[in-house]
């Protein structure tokens, strides 16, 4: 901003030195334009830090800590993607990469056991999110989910933390039952 101020001051001096060569109306118009430009720039909002979570992230690991034990809710081969758009929407789909296909090729044709297994080893949801002034994740609101109890849920950093470290993002979610879900993602390229 210092160089912008110096440039503005220099323009004022140049205009004042050239005033003898300019007509009075042209001089007044020039000075008014410079004043309006300076006022408009002073009123501009301060630039925010870049959104740290925006982009596409692939899950590389996931654990769930409950009752003193550690489980792998998406198996030993977790598959997942988390996408944060610049217009503040997100979608997250997490699955067990080793889940066996259903006997039927029809999506609604699974047995009770197949449906239970699929529901227990995957989740998909979407909604909106926010970031703070530093561009760090501040919370989200779930608009739709394969687990209907999450729809309409609002999560703050009290329940859900996302921490970006270079090309990696760490997610920690404290579930309503007290379990602590942790996942690691890498930025997709």
Q: Helix, strand or coil for residue 51?
A: coil
CA distance 144 to 76: 27
In the chain, CATH 2.40.128 covers 55-187
pLDDT tens readout for residues 53-67: 999 999 999 999 999
CA distance 46 to 40: 13
Give the sign of the dihedral formed by CA 142, CA 156, CA 186, CA 78. Answer: negative
Q: What is the pTM of this model?
A: 0.73
pLDDT tens readout for residues 135-167: 999 999 999 999 999 999 999 999 999 999 999
Average pLDDT over residues 43-61: 83
pLDDT at 102: 94
Tell me the CATH number for domain 55-187: 2.40.128
């Amino acid at each position: 901003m210092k160089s912008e101020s110096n440039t503005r001051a220099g323009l004022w001096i140049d205009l004042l030195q050239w005033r003898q060569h300019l007509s009075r109306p042209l001089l007044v118009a020039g000075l008014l334009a410079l004043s309006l430009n300076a006022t408009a720039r002073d009123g501009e909002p301060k630039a925010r830090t870049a959104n740290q979570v925006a982009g596409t992230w692939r899950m590389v690991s996931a654990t769930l800590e409950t009752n003193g034990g550690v489980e792998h809710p998406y198996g030993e081969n977790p598959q997942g993607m988390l996408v944060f758009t610049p217009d503040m929407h997100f979608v997250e789909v997490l699955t067990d990469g080793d889940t066996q296909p259903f006997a039927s090729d029809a999506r609604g044709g699974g047995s009770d056991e197949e449906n239970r297994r699929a529901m227990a080893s995957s989740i998909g949801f979407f909604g909106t999110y926010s970031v703070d002034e530093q561009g760090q994740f501040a919370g989200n609101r779930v608009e739709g989910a394969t687990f209907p109890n999450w729809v309409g849920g609002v999560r703050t950093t009290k329940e859900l933390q996302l921490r970006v470290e270079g090309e990696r993002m760490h997610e920690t979610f404290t579930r309503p039952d007290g379990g602590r879900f942790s996942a690691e993602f890498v930025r997709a390229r």
